[in-house]
Amino acid sequence: MTAEPLNSIPSGSTIGIIGGGQLGRMTAIAAANLGYHCHIFCPEERCPASKVSAEFTQAEYTDHEALARFADSVDVVTFEFENIPHESVQLLTEHVLVRPNWDALKISQDRLIEKDFLNQNGISTASYKRATSAEDLKTAVAEIGTPSVLKTVRLGYDGKGQVKVTEDTNLDEAWSTMGSELGVLEGFVPFEREISVIVARAPSGECRAFEPVHNVHTNHILDTTTAPAGISPQLRDKAIAMAEQVATALDIIGLLAVEMFVTNEDDLLVNEIAPRPHNSGHWTMDGCATSQFEQFVRAICGLPLGSTERLHNTVMTNLIGDDVNDWEEILTEPNAHLHLYGKREARTGRKMGHVNRLFPKT
């Protein structure tokens, strides 16, 4: 890996962000607070991030000419969306400093590479097996057992491309429902709860984690995040140490979100990692001394990392689809902080905003 420059990218510089969703939007707002300009690169015309940013390039992630022009106009490039082609990242790297590095993106884009990487680094995951056909799936089920979960290896999110497999499941149908040529069958983890840790890592290698939080999903989409997570101090320390270990192994500069299952035996298994801000970190915007978005900007620009101290107990609730219609009522709650993403259409399953409700710190 190439040596990373340790000098900071000063306020007034331009941060290029690949992807224009709400994560980019909230990053751009945090960057503006520190005096940076943001340039968003996104294929969609009216993306949430472009509306709060100084500059916007609307182009496909495969448009090399547009990517080169974008890269030449910014001081550092980062991602709020990691599923962009390898060649595009390589091209960016030839023009400008890119943080985090391509390896971290590549590993997190692919559930198989991700699980192999984690296990090779001594981090446990659910048992898993690769499958490339319905026949393969049958072999995998014989090995992993049921219940299990069949997932697409790439491009799956919020439960898309996932099928639960029980002993009654028709495996030919499960394979076609999953809808991809490469799948991974995972043993179903009967978890006690799901938690996540978000850790920032600076160019110097310093890591600073937010405390673990408890995540509840409904229909595979994150519904609420509660801080603190309600786990023992030992498990808390273990979860943070694991997240820092993964961030260091990936040589991340920026943020890493690590989603974990707490098993019934009080063990931790990693489910997924993401080298960027994460929905389960939105609570930090109002509940912490530094938000995950400001921390992200600090990390990629080589600024001192901020305090991750929790100032309030916080419950973050996603506003999905029509939930957003409650905005006026939420504004009347004295302990609620509303964040809306400026999306015009409240489609089913679409993340429209979130609310952070603050409670006294315990």
272 near ligand AMP, rule: CB under 6 A: yes
Closest by CA position to 271, among listed 222, 207, 210, 315: 222
Pick from 84, 14, 87, 17: nearest CA to 47? 17
Q: Is 262 in the site for ligand AMP (CB under 6 A)?
A: no
Inter-helix orientation angle 22-33/292-300, to 10°: 70
- Beta bridge mates, 41: 18, 57
Q: Evaluate whether 92 touches 239 at the Cβ level (below 8 Å).
A: no
Given 82, 114, 194, 294, the residue binding ligand AMP (CB under 6 A): 194
User: Cβ–Cβ contacts within 10 Å for residue 8, how many?
Assistant: 14
φ, ψ of residue 272 to 5 degrees: the values are -155, 150
Q: Cβ distance 277 to 285 under 8 Å?
A: no
Beta carbon of residue 126, minimum distance to ligand AMP (angstroms, whole number):
4
C-beta of 244 vs 272, nearer to ligand AMP:
272
User: 43, 145, 159, 342: which one contacts ligand AMP (CB under 6 A)?
Assistant: 159
Closer to ligand AMP by Cβ: residue 217 or 238: 217
CB closer to ligand AMP out of 53 and 215? 215
Specify the residue, 17 or 257, whose C-beta has the smaller distance to ligand AMP.
Answer: 257
DSSP per residue over 109-144, as a string? HBHHHHHHHHHHTT--B--EEEESSHHHHHHHHHHH
Residue 260 Cβ, how far from ligand AMP at the closest point, in Å?
10
Closer to ligand AMP by Cβ: residue 171 or 303: 171
Q: How far is the CB of 72 from ligand AMP (least distance, A)?
A: 36
For residue 118, the minimal CB distance to ligand AMP (Å) is 13
Which one of residues 80, 186, 211, 244 is an interface residue with ligand AMP (CB under 6 A)?
Answer: 186
Which is closer to ligand AMP, CB of 186 or CB of 294? 186
Phi/psi at 282 (5° precision): -65, -25
220 near ligand AMP, judged by CB under 6 A: yes
Binding of ligand AMP by 271 (CB under 6 A): yes
Residues 1 and 17: their CA atoms lie apart, in Å, by 22
Among 189, 195, 243, 300, binds ligand AMP (CB under 6 A): 189
Which range touches ligand AMP (CB under 6 A), out of 38-46, 188-196, 280-288, 342-350?
188-196
Q: Crossing angle for the helix pair 86-95 and 64-72, nearest 10 degrees?
A: 30
Rounded Cα–Cα distance for residues 338 and 262 (Å): 30
Site residues for ligand AMP, window 132-151 (CB under 6 A)? 149
Residue with tokens 């100032």: 311
Which of residues 154, 217, 238, 350 is near ligand AMP by CB under 6 A? Answer: 217
Sites of contact with ligand AMP (CB under 6 A): 126, 149, 156, 159, 186, 188-189, 194, 217, 220, 271-272
